[in-house]
Amino acid sequence: MPNLAPLKIGIVCPYGWDTPGGVQNHVRDLAEYLIAQGHDVSVLAPAIDEDALPAYVVSAGKPIAIPYNGAVARILFGPIAFARVRSWISQGDFDLLHLHEPAIPSLSLLACWAAEGPMVGTFHAAAKRQKAIFAIGPILEPVIEKLSVRIAVSEAARLTLTEHLETDAIVIPNGIYAEKFRNGIAQPQWSGETIGFIGRFEEPRKGLSILLEALPIVSRFVPNVRILVAGPGDSDATLKTIDPQLRSRISFLGRLTDEEKANFLSSVSLYVAPNTGGESFGIILAEAMASGAPCLASDIPAFSSLLGDGDFGALFASEDSADLARVMIDLLRDGPKRSALSIAGQEHAKFFDWDTVAEQIFSVYEMAIVGSQKVGLASDNRNWSRLLNREGDNS
């Protein structure tokens, strides 16, 4: 990382801090990495349980749930939230603001309205045009133009940004602590002819149903195959939808700690990401590659790009359970092929290590800061205040 004097950095997380998610994890890891490098970091985020927040996180209030991009987003918006954002900026004396997902009605958009000075925006979403979110596009465009530099976490996210707002961004991927996953310890209970899956499995776009539909075919050719599902959700309800003769092959593990996740990924014979869309990156695939797990993913654009079009992990036709079964059988019966994918993937995962990613982000910070004053409040927010009051308060 460049040898600059320590900075005061304000980071805005748009989604509820209490809810697991890729953006929240990215913000957490980036903040903790920057703090470890000697920078003074404050994160503003919606939160339900303020008492459980890390010392560097400031709550802006409780989020509300809205449908977004095939999932439920917990965000915060409205005049009271706007006042809290302004207060946080005023008290922060920041050298720079880093706003995540500033193109949706969220704290990041409010911060972009409220502030002036060096601001970096990171865009995570990869989605088709959604009327509910982008109806305020004419208002968004001049606000987004206030950003000093724009980052997209993948080419898919960059294309989404250009489609919706006709602006461009530098592509810098999400970060992982690659060494932590390389040091995972294989556990006997998760080893053997095992298929790993991690995610909010009740969300249709995560694709667990596609994986389960492939199981009857795979089990005929790989008699000892088992599917291990980790992540939040109602496992009892999901099991009721599965053929009783196959239920013994499926285990639901609940949420895993970071250490357990590293061990889990180091144990399974194959990690499968059957997501059907709405993904801009695929951080769990990067973590799985770092752990040495051979990866198999749907060929949605973000995953295909992440896996080098098949060079660092196998691909199957998205939403095609028969094709998924075919590739799973091939890999489970071919140890050398899995080993080759494991080696290639683990080497590729170094590209996503925080030591590499944070240096790229910090270079963007330098670009944003050069020739700019410190962050301050914009001189006139009356138009935005009137808009927010018409929209109502969700805080």
* Residue among 226, 230, 231, 205 at smallest CA distance from 215: 226
pLDDT at 395: 46
Residues contacting residue 145 through CB under 8 Å, at least 6 positions apart: 167
- Report whether pLDDT(132) > 80: no
pLDDT at 73: 81
Crossing angle of helices 283-291 and 258-267, in 10° steps, is 60
Chain centre distance of CA 208: 18
* Residue carrying the six token digits 């982000």: 361
3 state SS of 93 = coil
SS3 per residue for 139-194: HHHHHHCCCCEEEECCHHHHHHHHHHHCCCCEECCCCECHHHHHCCCCCHHHCCCE
Contact 44, 12 (CB under 8 A): yes
d(C-alpha 310, C-alpha 314), whole Å: 5
Contact 119, 148 (CB under 8 A): yes
pLDDT at 372: 77
pLDDT at 119: 97
d(C-alpha 46, C-alpha 37), whole Å: 26
Which pLDDT band, with edges at 50, 70 and 90, does 255 fall under? Answer: very high
**Mean pLDDT score of the chain:** 91
pLDDT at 390: 53
Contact 222, 333 (CB under 8 A): yes
Average pLDDT score over residue span 317-342: 98
Residue 375 is classified by DSSP as P
At position 137, the amino acid (one-letter code) is G
pLDDT at 386: 57
Chain centre distance of CA 38: 25
DSSP string, 246-309: GGGGEEEEE---HHHHHHHHHH-SEEEE---S--SS-HHHHHHHHHT--EEEE--HHHHHHTGG
- Report angle CA 108, 67, 30 to the nearest 5 degrees: 35
The lowest-confidence range among 177-181, 275-279, 293-297 is 275-279
Average pLDDT score over residue span 204-230: 96
Helix and strand counts by DSSP (H, E) for the chain: 16, 17
Domains belonging to the chain, first-starting first, are 8-175+353-391 (3.40.50.2000), 178-351 (3.40.50.2000)
Instruction: Tell me the pLDDT tens digit for each residue of 95-124.
Output: 999 999 998 889 999 999 999 999 999 999
* Residue among 146, 122, 97, 115 at smallest CA distance from 24: 122
Contact 107, 75 (CB under 8 A): yes
3 state SS of 337 = helix
Average pLDDT score over residue span 156-168: 86
- Report angle CA 208, 212, 216 to the nearest 5 degrees: 165
